[in-house]
Amino acid sequence: MSLPMIVKTANSRYLGSVIRPTRFRTVLKVMRNLPGAVADYLYDSLRYFRFSSTFYYGTRANRLSRITAMYHSVERGLALPEPQLGFGAQNIAYLVEAIEEYIRRFGVDSSLNPAAGALDAYLAFNKNNNVDPPNRAAIESVLHKLKPIRSKEGDGGTIEILRDSICSATANVTAEFFLRRYSIRQFSDEEVSTDDIDGAIVMAQKSPAVCNRQECRVYVVHDKKLMLKMLAIQGSQGFNHQVNKLLVVTNRLTAFYGMGERNQCWIDGGMFAMSLVLGLHSKGLGTCCLNWSKSAPPDRAMRRLLKLPASEVIIMLIAVGHIPAKLSVARSLRQPLELARRHIINASEIQSGGGVVQVDAPEASST
């Protein structure tokens, strides 16, 4: 039977433009997909314009994202091998001003605690080195206002740690931990404990995030009916009834500013999601990431179902369950190492258009 006949018998759509992409088919495909692509870009852009701190700066969340980035740059400066005395005067002036404005608008609350800690550590660092930093009076004044919300356990700034404390934690982690993680699409009936999920979320919260703007959220869905509706929107098939908990990882557009950060929400969100998957794996639970590569209609449907804040974007869904004693997993073969990495020992080895190993047409060089 010919391919078109097989496709017709299966009541499916003939993917001629994928399998044999002639010029004519490609033109047709562009014409067919262009309106949808424009509509989806518009859908994403409107949300971005509305909530990204790139354009609007008035809400509490917008302001906190900037304050976090600014106080973190103080912490970062203090964590360098040789911090410069009195460093970052301009950034600190902005930070103090931003905190003052925040207090004027929203009052003093505990979200300013780490910023206070960083400023405190900055003053202490300069004092220990007999330096009177610029802005000292302004810093002291704002710290006085923040006194009521300071935590006793310690907040921003730096902490001293021993290498051994890191190495003893990693000593028992082998490559096997990573290589024995599979996407699991068969789960047992055993109930996943909320403690295990919460424990893994705490691990995920330790993920690096740009300027420590930790704004990822996880919705843990227990309700089976709701779960099945969500999985239907996602398009998952064949194992939905076995999924014990369904997680939705989101990130907040308000956390990011500047066009350079236009994709950062998804980068940070992806890193958070990976840590979450590994955290669940460390508890012996099975997970399957479920893509949120969606156009506007399913995205709207999911948002309606979960009543998601409009400023949040969905990064992905993660199906979670206990792993049965014996199961099949997709082999999901990896590329050979040589294909994925290239050592650059000397800059002279860098060639225009030279990626790692060419397997098909070279991609355009970025230079």
Minimum distance, C-beta of residue 322 to ligand FMN, in the bound complex (Å):
17
Residue of 134, 273, 258, 268 lying closest to 203 (CA atoms) = 273
Minimum distance, C-beta of residue 320 to ligand FMN, in the bound complex (Å):
13
117, 67 contact by CB (below 8 A): no
Out of 87, 94, 106, 182, point to the residue binding ligand FMN (CB under 6 A): 182
Residue of 7, 48, 22, 26 lying closest to 262 (CA atoms) = 48
Interface stretch with ligand FMN, choices 42-50, 180-188, 301-309, 356-364 (CB under 6 A) = 180-188
Counting every residue written for the chain, the total comes to 367
Contact characters 51-90, ligand FMN, x per CB under 6 A: ----------------------------------------
Interface stretch with ligand FMN, choices 29-37, 58-66, 126-134, 178-186 (CB under 6 A) = 178-186
| Number of residues near ligand FMN (by CB under 6 A) | 12
Q: Kindly report the number of other CB atoms within 10 A of residue 270's CB atom.
A: 17
CA distance 183 to 330: 8
The most distant pair of C-alpha atoms in the chain lies apart, rounded to whole Å, by: 86
Q: Indicate the helix (H) or strand (E) that contains 328.
A: none
Q: Where are the alpha helices (DSSP H) in the chain?
A: 3-9, 16-19, 23-51, 60-78, 89-106, 113-128, 136-146, 163-170, 175-179, 194-204, 224-234, 264-282, 296-306, 337-340
Sheet holding 217-221, edge to edge: 217-221, 245-252, 312-322, 285-291
Structure tokens, 168: 């003893």
Q: Looking at beta carbons only, is 221 or 289 nearer to ligand FMN?
A: 289
CA distance 313 to 236: 20
Minimum distance, C-beta of residue 93 to ligand FMN, in the bound complex (Å):
41
Q: Please work out, in degrees rounded to the nearest 5, the angle formed at the alpha carbon of residue 223 by the alpha carbons of 296 and 204.
A: 70
Interface stretch with ligand FMN, choices 8-16, 155-163, 328-336, 355-363 (CB under 6 A) = 328-336
Site for ligand FMN in 183-222 (CB under 6 A): 183, 185
Q: Looking at beta carbons only, is 23 or 331 nearer to ligand FMN?
A: 331
Q: Looking at beta carbons only, is 135 or 236 nearer to ligand FMN?
A: 236
Minimum distance, C-beta of residue 271 to ligand FMN, in the bound complex (Å):
12
Minimum distance, C-beta of residue 251 to ligand FMN, in the bound complex (Å):
14
Structure tokens, 153: 């356990």
Out of 90, 328, 332, 346, point to the residue binding ligand FMN (CB under 6 A): 332
Contact characters 285-324, ligand FMN, x per CB under 6 A: ---xxxx------------------------x--------
Minimum distance, C-beta of residue 172 to ligand FMN, in the bound complex (Å):
22
Give me the residues that bind ligand FMN (CB under 6 A), please.
182-183, 185, 236, 288-291, 316, 329-330, 332
